[in-house]
Chain A
Amino acid sequence: GAGVSQSPSNKVTEKGKDVELRCDPISGHTALYWYRQSLGQGLEFLIYFQGNSAPDKSGLPSDRFSAERTGGSVSTLTIQRTQQEDSAVYLCASSLRVPGLAGTVYNEQFFGPGTRLTVL
């Protein structure tokens, strides 16, 4: 497809259940990011994948959150034993690292439509 896609678009689950959110990045984009956005808030970084490097997991709020990226393309964000405070829109973004002046690399991220997660 032309853009980043995410599924499902909406997910309602019960507290304590596990959920999996999927992201298909733009073809050829080497970097993939997960963010979450709580109601009325800005975006909060969760995790970042770049090529075959170890992911940057510094934004994951707890060990109930994990993500993987298979084959350098599709990514799945898993939330175990969901809590009500996990309710948010989960946004995925991808980028193609672009060389800039003097070798500096700049980073324009393209976002998917998000998955709205509601934990009852």
Chain B
Amino acid sequence: EDKVVQSPLSLVVHEGDTVTLNCSYEVTNFRSLLWYKQEKKAPTFLFMLTSSGIEKKSGRLSSILDKKELFSILNITATQTGDSAVYLCAVEAAAGNKLTFGGGTRVLVKP
């Protein structure tokens, strides 16, 4: 059974801090790993990672995948209160196209 584990479960930081979120996975026939940000209801897409060692960046967010050690990290630098959300990691296996989600990391950025 495919499995995705995220850590920490939650964290509280102050504006300007850097956060690192972890996602480890076990999946048969890995295809891609995706990060989403969920503030209220709809998760919004952040990154899709398919290859090891290639960092993806979008503004203050960046992410990298390690397919040998089966994990990914999501970094947020110079955090702002608007970064407060639940960050979800999901993995897609080649067999079928469903996403298996981790439980999420709840980030709270205080002013």
Binding site for B on A (CB under 8 A): 4, 31, 33, 35, 41-45, 48, 50, 56, 58-59, 89, 91, 95, 100, 104, 106-114, 116
Contact = CB atoms under 8 A, between A and B. Distances in A.
A80 to B, nearest CB: 23
B99 interface: yes
Interface of B: 4, 31-32, 34, 36, 40-45, 48, 50, 88, 90, 92, 96-104
14 contacts: A33-B98, A42-B102, A42-B103, A43-B99, A48-B96, A48-B97, A50-B97, A56-B96, A56-B98, A58-B96, A106-B32, A106-B48, A113-B41, A114-B41
A106 B42 contact: no
Contacts, number: 70
B interface, over-half SS: strand
A interface, over-half SS: strand
